[in-house]
Amino acid sequence: MKISFEFFPPRTNQGKEKLTQVRQSLSVISPEYFSTTFGAGGTTQNATLKAVLDIQKNGNIPAAPHLSCIGSEKSNIVELLDKYKSANINRIIALRGDIPSDMHDIGDFHYANELVEFIQSEYNDYFHIQVAAYPEMHPQANNIASDLAHFVNKIKAGANGATTQYFYNADAYFRFRDDVQKLGVDIPITPGIMPIINYTQLLNFSNMCGAQIPKWILERLKLYETDLESLGDFGFDVVSNLCQTLKSQGVGSFHFYSMNRTEPSLKLAKSIV
Ligand code: FAD
């Protein structure tokens, strides 16, 4: 079973130290890689570079930087990728990114497929490129057919794999996997798994990224909003059942949105390895 964990770049020294410990704890199950998010439009880009180089230098789990292209020039992308290549980093999560409302200059890229094509043309298969997938449809897509076609374009442009937005409905993932297979896509589609640990935070994330929380889950989370122990137990049940269902249908890789915490991602990951 292939497992990966995602972090956001820490903003303080304390956050950095905590993340180092988190990484050490997660390393016990030998993850395939540790990825680090990247703020579209410049917000955390230097912090991402620092965090990624730190992972690559101070551990034995490979670092995989996220790279969003919106607002970037080709020259900035090359500058960053050259730094990653010099540090022996060979896996990139290539994204468009969310367009900040105050962004006036979109830059050289409009969509992620253009970034994938550019990386492949500049680096000739050096990087393993992972792209984003949306089993419940990307929130800005006009309809499911066009969203699937755009996803296929990213694979045709040279992506090697995909990681999904989180979801709590396994059928959405299976349908997506079937649909893209029918369109000729034959790459691993790794489910992105979001542990349930905080009601308000999950609600906010889900509103932002368009992931649906089924009503039967939402109602229970509401009930346990201030009882974190019950919420954690219930959340673990829901997400570990989801992982088991996915595993039973042939899923061989999982990506955990760790939120820079060891538990509950590690507990969930251990339940499927
Ligand atoms: P795209 O694949 O370009 O798609 C974006 C939208 O445009 C879709 O609706 C698609 O259907 C549509 N589209 C694509 N091509 C065309 C076309 N030619 N014409 C018209 N419409 C088109 N964001 C960050 O800022 N930083 C991160 O680190 C980050 N990490 C992520 C990791 C994962 C695993 C996932 C799933 C998402 C992540 N995101 C991150 C969020 C992502 O950047 C946003 O969801 C963004 O809105 C879309 O990015 P994308 O790469 O899927 O874009």
Q: Mean pLDDT, to the nearest integer, of 52-74?
A: 95
Q: Is 124 exposed, middle or buried (0-12, 13-18, 19+ CB in 10 A)?
A: exposed
CA of 86 to the centre of ligand 1 (A): 27
**Which protein residue has the closest C-alpha to ligand 1 atom 12?**
141
Single-letter amino acid code for the residue at 52: V
The two tokens of residue 170 are 């396994």
As annotated, the active-site residues are: 6
The two tokens of residue 112 are 């992620």
CA of 97 to the centre of ligand 1 (A): 5
Ligand 1 neighbourhood includes 51 CB (under 6 angstroms): no
Ligand 1 neighbourhood includes 45 CB (under 6 angstroms): no
pLDDT classification of 45: cutoffs 50, 70, 90: confident
Ligand 1 neighbourhood includes 44 CB (under 6 angstroms): no
- Residue 270: closest CA among 28, 8, 22, 12: 28
**Which protein residue has the closest C-alpha to ligand 1 atom 20?**
150
Ligand 1 neighbourhood includes 126 CB (under 6 angstroms): no
Q: What is the pLDDT of residues 148-187, one digit of tens each?
A: 999 999 999 999 999 999 999 999 999 999 999 999 999 9
Judged by DSSP in three states, 183 sits in: coil
Q: What is the pLDDT of residue 137?
A: 98
**Which of 10-14, 119-123, 132-136 is predicted least confidently?**
10-14
Q: Mean pLDDT, to the nearest integer, of 23-32?
A: 97
Q: What is the pLDDT of residues 239-270, one digit of tens each?
A: 999 999 999 999 999 999 999 999 999 999 99
Tell me the average pLDDT of the chain.
Answer: 96
Q: 0.85 exceeded by the pTM?
A: yes
Indicate whether 63 pLDDT > 80.
Answer: yes
Taking every pair of Cα atoms in the chain, the longest distance, rounded to a whole number of angstroms, is 52
Single-letter amino acid code for the residue at 74: K
Ligand 1 neighbourhood includes 35 CB (under 6 angstroms): no
- Residue 246: closest CA among 168, 152, 155: 168
Q: Are 68 and 40 in contact (CB under 8 A)?
A: yes
Q: E strands of 108-181, at which residues?
A: 128-133, 161-166
Ligand 1 neighbourhood includes 38 CB (under 6 angstroms): yes
DSSP 62-122: PEEEEEE-TT--HHHHHHHHHHHHHTT--EEEEE-----TT-----S-SSHHHHHHHHHHH
Indicate whether 41 pLDDT > 90.
Answer: no
Q: CA angle 120-126-132, nearest 5°?
A: 60
**Ligand 1 site-directed mutation target among 111, 183, 185, most atoms within 8 Å of CB:** 111
**Which protein residue has the closest C-alpha to ligand 1 atom 33?**
132
Q: What is the pLDDT of residue 40?
A: 64
**Ligand 1 site-directed mutation target among 33, 117, 147, 150, most atoms within 8 Å of CB:** 150
Indicate whether 146 pLDDT > 90.
Answer: yes
Q: Mean pLDDT, to the nearest integer, of 219-236?
A: 95
Q: Mean pLDDT, to the nearest integer, of 51-76?
A: 95
CA-CA distance, 31 to 2, in Å (whole number)? 7
CA-CA distance, 25 to 34, in Å (whole number)? 12
Indicate whether 43 pLDDT > 80.
Answer: no
Q: Are 87 and 48 in contact (CB under 8 A)?
A: no
Element (H, E) at 61: none
Tokens 């829901």 belong to 238
The fold of 2-270 is TIM Barrel (3.20.20)
Q: What is the pLDDT of residues 128-144, one digit of tens each?
A: 999 999 999 999 999 99
The two tokens of residue 22 are 């988190």
